[in-house]
């Protein structure tokens, strides 16, 4: 493994790698600060991925680069903001090699290019723990921002995509499964899998390692005025639904049978040891969007359902209870999911 060159050499490398020619970027990587031209408000979000907390040691650096940007773009998507710029701060232990560095930025640059993001600066640091801290800036829709606080009683609750795939992918990684190249997967024994379930296992792991932020959906919802409130599903549907309801001062009833638990969780339940409904509610890191829609706009949203894999899962109520409905009975949905600072640590 090639070691890292001096910091100035790395900055020169990044300046060349992320060279941008956009009118709104007046000065990019290489100076003490980037300079951008702003016309109107900006949406700004930051997120940090820390080794051993947010990703496993030994993670594929290219996919980690993708994920570092994707989780931030997902926040902009939830606000209905179009991505513009990103800053990346990367902390690396002494063991980090140039091959790892290049692979990480190859993934980061791939997603930046795909989503139209200009990488304009950041920081590099030696660190005892590997981490990537990203800040993104986006342009709100002309029709206005989506926030968590606009939901109203009577609105319908919708989500994009399936639920639980990322959590199932993490479970497979913890069991020792690893991706190999573009199409292969290695089992805990170290052998390449040839079983009928190999493609599904690979898909679940990819969902965990390189999620797809729903940027186009978020901007569409905002531009067309279809949603009253939105949040991305990062810490689990249950936790993020509670957050949306608290911000809006409402409650919700979720239809258990409408939850789109990923089909592979049921198929692999014996291997994964995961309940599909519980995983759908509490799994986290799916990075779809959860949003509320006025009933009178449901027809317009239905026309987008196939394009964005949308599904209605419930109704906003006057609250404050957040409930799961099944077979004519309801039960509370606990405010549970991922938390960096759980009560037990207090």
CATH (domain of 308): 3.90.650.10
Flag whether 90 is in a domain: yes
Of 81, 115, 140, which one is at a domain's C-terminal end? Answer: 140
Residue 301: per-residue pLDDT: 94
Give percent of the chain above pLDDT 70. Answer: 99
Residue 31: per-residue pLDDT: 92
Flag whether 149 is in a domain: no
In a shared domain, residues 232 and 130? no
In a shared domain, residues 33 and 69? yes
Flag whether 246 is in a domain: yes
Of 140, 168, 192, which one is at a domain's C-terminal end? Answer: 140
In a shared domain, residues 218 and 323? yes
In a shared domain, residues 125 and 181? no
Least confident of 17-26, 55-64, 254-263: 17-26
Looking at the structure of the chain, the number of domains it has is 2
- Give the residue ranges of DSSP H helices in 97-197: 98-114, 165-174
Q: How confident is the model at residue 346 (pLDDT cuts 50, 70, 90)?
A: very low
pLDDT tens-place string over residues 276-331: 999 999 999 999 999 999 999 999 999 999 999 999 999 999 979 999 999 999 99
Residue 344: per-residue pLDDT: 57
Number of helical H runs and strand E runs in the chain: 12, 15
pLDDT tens-place string over residues 116-150: 999 999 999 999 999 999 999 999 999 989 999 99
In a shared domain, residues 281 and 165? yes
Do residues 213 and 285 touch, judged by C-beta distance below 8 A?
no
Do residues 182 and 62 touch, judged by C-beta distance below 8 A?
no
Give percent of the chain above pLDDT 90. Answer: 88
In a shared domain, residues 218 and 276? yes
In a shared domain, residues 202 and 59? no
Residue 271: per-residue pLDDT: 79
- What Cα–Cα distance (Å) separates residue 252 from each residue in 167, 208, 221, 255, 330? 24, 28, 20, 10, 11
In a shared domain, residues 124 and 263? no
Flag whether 163 is in a domain: yes
SS3 102: helix
Flag whether 33 is in a domain: yes
In a shared domain, residues 86 and 185? no
pLDDT tens-place string over residues 173-211: 999 999 998 889 999 999 999 988 899 999 999 999 999
Flag whether 306 is in a domain: yes
- What Cα–Cα distance (Å) separates residue 139 from each residue in 38, 154, 195, 215, 269? 9, 30, 46, 12, 42
Residue 345: per-residue pLDDT: 45
Residue 266: per-residue pLDDT: 87
Q: What is the β-pairing status of strands 43-50 and 118-126?
A: unpaired
pLDDT tens-place string over residues 76-131: 999 999 999 999 999 999 999 999 999 999 999 999 999 999 999 999 999 999 99
Flag whether 89 is in a domain: yes
pLDDT tens-place string over residues 207-249: 999 999 999 999 999 999 999 999 999 999 999 999 999 999 9
Domain enclosing residue 17, as ranges: 7-140
pTM score, two decimals? 0.94
């Amino acid at each position: 493994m090639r070691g890292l060159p001096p910091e100035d050499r790395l900055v020169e490398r990044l300046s060349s790698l992320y060279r941008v020619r956009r009118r709104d970027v007046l000065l990019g990587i290489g100076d003490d600060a980037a300079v951008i031209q702003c016309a109107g408000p900006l949406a700004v979000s930051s997120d940090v991925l820390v080794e051993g907390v947010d990703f496993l040691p030994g993670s594929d650096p290219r996919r980690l680069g993708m994920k570092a940007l994707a989780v931030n773009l997902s926040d902009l998507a939830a606000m209905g903001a179009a991505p513009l710029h990103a800053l990346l701060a990367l902390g690396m232990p002494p063991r980090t090699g140039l091959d790892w560095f290049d692979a990480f930025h190859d993934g980061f640059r791939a997603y930046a290019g795909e989503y139209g993001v200009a990488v304009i600066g950041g920081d590099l640091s030696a660190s005892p723990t590997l981490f990537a801290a990203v800040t993104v800036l986006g342009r709100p829709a002309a029709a206005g921002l989506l926030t968590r606080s606009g939901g109203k009683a009577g609105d319908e609750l919708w989500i994009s995509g399936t639920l639980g795939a990322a959590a199932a992918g993490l479970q497979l990684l913890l069991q020792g499964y690893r991706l190999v190249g573009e199409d292969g997967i290695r089992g805990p024994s170290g052998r390449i899998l040839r079983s009928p379930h190999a493609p599904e296992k690979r898909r679940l792991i990819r969902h965990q390692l390189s999620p797809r932020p729903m940027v186009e959906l978020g901007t569409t919802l905002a531009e067309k005025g279809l949603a009253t409130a939105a949040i991305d599903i990062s810490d689990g549907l249950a936790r993020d639904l509670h957050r949306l309801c608290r911000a809006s001062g409402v409650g919700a009833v979720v239809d258990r049978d409408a939850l789109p638990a990923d089909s592979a969780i049921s198929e692999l339940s014996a291997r994964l040891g995961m309940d599909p409904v519980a995983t759908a509610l509490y799994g986290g890191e799916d990075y779809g969007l959860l949003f509320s829609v006025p009933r009178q706009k449901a027809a317009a949203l239905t026309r987008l359902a196939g394009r964005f894999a949308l599904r209605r899962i419930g109704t906003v109520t006057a609250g404050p209870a957040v409930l799961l409905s099944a077979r004519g009975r309801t039960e509370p949905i606990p405010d549970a999911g991922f938390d960096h600072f759980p009560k037990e640590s207090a």
